[in-house]
A and B are shown apart, each in its own frame.
Chain A
Amino acid sequence: MAFTEEQLVRYSRHIILSEVGGKGQKKIGDAKVLIVGAGGLGAPLALYLAAAGVGTLGIADADVVDLTNLQRQIIHHTADVGQSKVKSATDKVGALNPDVKVIPYQKYINPGNALQIFGEYDVIVDGTDNFPAKFLINDAAFFANKPLVHGGILRFEGQLFTIVPKESACYRCVFPAPPPLGVVPSCQEAGVLGALAGFIGTLQGTEVLKLILGIGSLLTNRILNYSALTTRFREIKIQRNPDCPLCGTKPSIEKLEMQEQPEQPVCHLDTVAAAKGDGTP
């Protein structure tokens, strides 16, 4: 389908990039991206991907907007408090770019619905705020054979990497199992700098666009760590792990299951009290 006059103007700064051009912009328009979690990471992701003209944007989140979210979840406004996050995000995306079709999922991704939902998309982005969700999304993206852009933030630190299933290291290649409850605190317990969420989410969005366009080199087989306090980036090499329980040579995970965090051994109770995330990345 040809661009309208308005679209040529709207996307002109993309189209002028030789790496994107009209062809690339059309790829973006044809792309289907699923954002899991409409919180700190999901907010910039949804806004930038919508602005870029991603044709179909799935947004999954079961939560409602809470006042504590507004410090970083910039897609939600004060008037949205109490409103469903998915509805709030859908409204903002619609106002930003009417070219984008939003498919809202007012639910959590679970082992029962993940594969069916993931199957509808070209790229999955993880914007969730808890370990069981992050492991489930990694596993589901692997089984659905979809590229995944992982991200995580805590206090002043963020990390992200891109996973191309069966080609590059997956989350479980690096972290075979989640930590026990309470060992790694959530943002609710330990706090998070608001702008950090925007930064890591925007980097994830950049990876999504590169995946769609097929340009540049992806953040695969390396983790990018960002320390906001020292403004330092560090890259750590990772590689596919032959012993990976998911994508290794003798996988022990053969179907999708919710991976709960084990209870913390008594001897480690000196750390932060165990608690679930607030479900609002």
Chain B
Amino acid sequence: MKKFCTAVVAALLLPGSLWAACAYDNQVEIKSLSAGFQAWKSVTDAMAECGNFQAELDQEFRDKQVEAFAANPSLYHIGGVSNSTLVPLVNNNLVRPLDDLVAQHGGQLSENQLIRQNGQVVAIAMMVNAQHLMYRQDILDDLGIAEPANYEEVLAAAAKIDDAGVVDYPLGATWKTGFNIALDFVNLFLGEGQSLINDDLSPSINNETGMYVLETMGRLKDYMDPEILVSDSTYVQQQFQQGKIAMANLWASRAAAMDDEAESQVVGLVTMASAPMGSVRPASTLWWDGTVIASNITDEEAEAAFRLIMEGMDTEMVQANNDDAIWIIDGFVPGKSAAGAFATAANGAAPYPASTEFGIIFNALGNGLAAYITGEKDAATTLADIENEYLVGAKEAGLIQ
């Protein structure tokens, strides 16, 4: 028994490099904090192969990232960010400029991966993501419906599918209160080519575009699950996999799951298409995910962290996990599951407009939109209340007087 225990302890203590495919042996203790979806798991697993590395994968990471990075020394060396969560870190000067490290160790990086602000590299991107239309090819073929290109066509298709009664609900949507429903509103709004906030930081949603977006959402709702306000990405993914819905706008990073034989009953039946067009551009936003290095750590730690990032984001990792995401790393082979996101980007979708003020209106949208969907408030009141909420928040933050 004692021997067995010793063996187990020894196995746990063995440095990772003994069995893993890391090019070198990492000697500096490095910690990372990032979101917890599959792509992050793949990247941090590849980093862990070098040893002395601890990854914290947490979908609610943004709640603590700023405070943790503001500590001196920072509680984490590597941070996983997206275009929106990078904003508070940069605003508070908590990320390290990476130009010297890129020059020294970043030979494998392409220009596309370098997130620059005023010429300085502040983050290294690894993947891009977008919400786009997914639909059941078999159902649309049976009913003789062509691929919907805009929301009028989506609504027409939904009506036909509803009449045919082949699925529980023709449409699915990521409309969970908070982040999800706010983003869908933003997608539709930007698709009309309008901006939600004026240059003088006053809100601009209680207008024709805002009314149009809400009205569209109200019409879409009729073809959805009544529990749509608790429906997040995972919920919609499962509805697709179980054959309960026929169409939905969903993240590209969820596309591969449709063909996962272990979970899905609709393998090979879901087609990835561009997000429906608004009157100017697709009703979707382009996102990226990547890593930053904390500013409150030593140069030695920063170098070790950067080398780990290079190891986690190499071609070998991409080849092993090709379908986890739309990698922008050398070696990625765009498959069927990336087609929708590429089409959305090719049609001209805008990058998500992350900024301090946008965070506030986004939060107000996330809390305020549900009242319209449940029928508690009419469109004009909903939009006016959200604008009011934004003004209170922006004033409290010191953005406007």
Same complex: no
Q: Which B positions have Cβ atoms within 8 angstroms of A?
A: none
Interface residues of A (CB under 8 A from B): none
